[in-house]
Amino acid sequence: MPKILLTPSFIKNELYCPEPKNRIEYCDTSFPGLYIEVRSTSQGKGTFYLRYKDSNGKTCHQKLGRNHEVTITEARKKAKVLKAEITLGADPRAEAKRQKAVMSFKEFSSEHYLPYIKTRKRSYRNDESMLRLRITPVFSDTPLNKISRKQIQNFHTALREEGLAGASCDHHVKLMRAMFNLAVQWDFVDRSPADKIPLFMEDNKLERYMTDEEQSRLLSVLSTNGNRTVCQLILFLLSTGARLNEALKATWENIDENQRLWRIPSVNSKSKKARSVPLNQKALEVLSELTKKEDVPHLFINPKTGKHYVNITKTWNSIRTEAKLPKLRLHDLRHQFASHLVNSGRSLYEVQQILGHSDPTVTQRYAHLSTRALQAAAESASLCLGGAKPAVAER
């Protein structure tokens, strides 16, 4: 570390790193602690630094600028101001240390986000899957505050190019948005880079409705298939419009056969709100055929295990294959129930209440099914046009 009076002439003509050294520091004799570093790979160029000791007595180096950015005079002024601040207790490296201390995306995900949502979000396993399969491999070791909006947009686009549906791509960005909102709330970062990222906003809601002939085939299989409890469960779904998880968790104490009501507690409801489902005659017939067990409170009990069903995928696949409906999903039975209500002239409000939709816009998906009721309403206007007889709407 040669000591020399750093002058404009020296800076201009003498910035060389002698062989075989990789770097050299030229220390300024007029301002202790100020030096310019020259590397062998950048002859004729250097970087000004101030060497100082922090509050713990550790030697630190604060960059002041490259020689083509600041002059020696400016470097001395900056060093003088910085040294005065350090004397008063300031730490020039505090921001750099804070940046370095910011956790990685992977660390935030595994140690903070996932533990937080496991007791608060019913679909947390979906989040776990999206993080494990696609998000974490891309952003794994990147500090939270180093992830940019452009990186997330590129990730969003890459998912689409990978072949994912637009809505699935959007779910990944929505998850990252939720994560960063929590990171901001918990003071891990100052802002969220996931805000205002345009989504594909594709409507990929699949609604499968059975024709009368298809429904007849399904009912025929349900009346003859040997797995009676699962068949009764499927009939119950078709008769109530309930979600599979709600039916699997249903217990006898929630059934009021006198009032013809099934109370779904908030812990079993997707909306986290308790609701009551009216039981029609078919649903009551299903209940009357079920076998009760004193030690099992649930409605649908697996005869092989003596415990309530938690999954019927294998049996359902067999049933829908036998009915020649290989693409029919269990959730489609909920849509089928709704279609029966709407086509019978029931209002969308009634459908919303029975299905337990917290948002009426969700129920609007069934609006196109009410063509008969709308046609009848439109035909009523013909009475005002010269006494024309209203036509009978075709089914």
Cα distances (Å, whole numbers) of residue 346 to 261, 349, 370, 372:
19, 8, 9, 11
Lookup: tokens for 206: 């699949």
Residue 97: the pLDDT is 61
Residue 80: the pLDDT is 94
Render pLDDT for 298-350 as a digit per residue (tens, 0 to 9).
Answer: 999 999 999 999 999 999 999 999 999 998 999 999 899 988 888 888 888 88
**Contacts of residue 201, Cβ cutoff 8 Å, sequence gap at least 6:** 166, 170
Measured between alpha carbons, how far is 106 from 113 in angstroms, rounded to an integer?
10
- Counting as low any pLDDT under 50, the low residues of the chain are 390, 393-395
Lookup: tokens for 378: 């439109």
Segments making up each domain of the chain, as ranges: 3-101, 105-185, 212-364
Residue 206: the pLDDT is 64
Q: How far apart are the first and last CA of the chain?
A: 95
Q: What backbone torsions phi and psi does residue 278 show, to the nearest 5 degrees?
A: -70, 135
User: Can you give the pTM of this predicted structure?
Assistant: 0.55
Q: Which fold has domain 3-101?
A: Double Stranded RNA Binding Domain (3.30.160)
Closest to 178 measured CA to CA, from 239, 120, 134: 120
Residue 376: the pLDDT is 65
Residue 394: the pLDDT is 46
Cα distances (Å, whole numbers) of residue 278 to 111, 160, 282:
44, 43, 11
- Residues of the chain with pLDDT > 90, as a percent, come to 65
DSSP assignment of 327-369 equals T--TTHHHHHHHHHHHHTT--HHHHHHHHT-SSHHHHGGGGGG
Domains 3-101 and 212-364 share a fold: no
Residue 149: the pLDDT is 96
Residue 201: the pLDDT is 84
Position 390, amino acid = P
- The CATH classification of domain 212-364, taken from the options 1.10.443.10, 1.10.10.1100, 1.10.10.10, 3.10.129.10: 1.10.443.10
Query: CB–CB of 188/102 below 8 Å?
Result: yes
Residue 395: the pLDDT is 43
